[in-house]
Each structure stands twice: as C-alpha cells, then as structure tokens.
Chain A
Amino acid sequence: QQPVQSPQAVILREGEDAVINCSSSKALYSVHWYRQKHGEAPVFLMILLKGGEQKGHEKISASFNEKKQQSSLYLTASQLSYSGTYFCGTVPPLDRDDKIIFGKGTRLHILP
C-alpha cells in the first residue's frame, strides 16, 4: 500500500527544475505532499483531493491523475531553500480516519 516515489534522490543547481513522482497500486482518495528539512518535522505543502486537480504554491505545484493513481510535484526555478526530503502521502477511498500512508521520500539537494 505504500506509494512509490521516484527518483529517490536528485541534485540540482539553483534555478533548475525538478519533478518528483508518486504512484500507488491502489485507488486514491487524496494525495498529500510534505517537505522535511534535516532534523526537523515535516511541513505541509499541499493536498490534492480530486482527480485532475492541480495546485500551485509559489514555484511549487502538483498534479493528481486519479486514473493513473499517481501524483507529481513540480519545483520550478529551484531555490536553495527547497533542499530537503519530499514525502508524498496517500489516502485510500473510504478511509474516514485520514490515515496517510507515506512514501519513502525523495531527497532533493540544491547546489548554489
């Protein structure tokens, strides 16, 4: 049930773009994206609740393809502050307890 994230790690130079993918073998109700800085707690980025939904947050956006059971996180013109580990989390349909199953994370390192 754990979603699969790809790539596992990526190194970029400041200003470059990145795409992080999250796919599930099960049907999805929602997809959550979080970022975690080293030694800190994860911080919420966005939730996608509907198939086909896209959301943006400054230069970070995401899409949710319900049919393909996958989501992608897009980071454009990356900044040094974007470094960290990105987790996607999925919630299956009919889950009333909001239990998020997190992927193993994608480590993103931005070089100056």
Chain B
Amino acid sequence: SQTIHQWPATLVQPVGSPLSLECTVEGTSNPNLYWYRQAAGRGLQLLFYSVGIGQISSEVPQNLSASRPQDRQFILSSKKLLLSDSGFYLCAWSGLSYQQYFGPGTRLTVT
C-alpha cells in the first residue's frame, strides 16, 4: 500500500531563517507530487507541483522553491522566511486514479 510521509510535523522558525520541508512517498512509482499551503482557517493554496524528477511548476510567486531530486521525494525550501509564510504545509501525491492523497502536514510558525 502507498504511504506518504512529511517532516517535521511542527516547526517554529525566526523571520529570515531558511526552511526545508521534506515529503516522501512509498509504494508507488512516478507519482505527481504537490505542495499546498493552508493559512489558519483558509483554503488550500497550491504552491508547486511536479510530474517527474527535476520537473517543477510554480503556481504562486513567492520566496519559496521546490525540488524533486528523486522520484518519490519532494522538498520545499526557502532561503529567508517571512511572517506570511506561516501556515500548514501539505504534500500530496496522485497516480492514475486522479485522487490526491495528502500527507500529515507540517505546521510552520514564523516568529
């Protein structure tokens, strides 16, 4: 069966510090991968998606970047965090069934 992991679960970082969130998927090959952000009480904002290794598409201009160094690994990064980067970050994958499976999420607080 397929599983998706995200870490860390929670993170508190000062403004201007770097960020690295990791997502890995097990039990499937060549998944589409997605990063979403959810601000408190808000909807799901698609940040990046990837259809293959090294292929990243950005949906929203911001100070975040994403990379996919391996087929089932998706990384979200920032060189300098802003207060507005606080939120709940969700990684998701999809296969042939179009259904998206979400990871447990990382709650980021920028102070």
Chain A residues packing against B (C-beta within 8 Å): 2, 30, 32, 40-44, 47, 49, 87, 89, 91, 97-105
Interface of A is mostly: loop
Q: How far is the CB of A28 from chain B (nearest CB, A)?
A: 13
B98 and A44 contact, CB distance less than 8 A:
no
B49 and A97 contact, CB distance less than 8 A:
yes
Give chain B's interface residue range (CB within 8 Å of chain A): 20 to 34
Q: A91 to B34: give the CA distance in the assembly, Å.
A: 14
Q: A5 to B78: give the CA distance in the assembly, Å.
A: 32
Q: Tell me the nearest residue of chain A to B57, going by C-beta.
A: A97
Q: Tell me the nearest residue of chain A to B101, going by C-beta.
A: A44
Question: Which 8 pairs between the two chains have the least Cβ-Cβ distance?
Answer: A41-B102, A104-B43, A102-B44, A98-B94, A44-B99, A105-B43, A42-B102, A41-B105
- Contact status of A42 and B99, CB under 8 A, knowing A97-B57, A99-B49: no
Q: What residues of A have a CB within 8 angstroms of the CB of B49 in the complex?
A: 97, 99
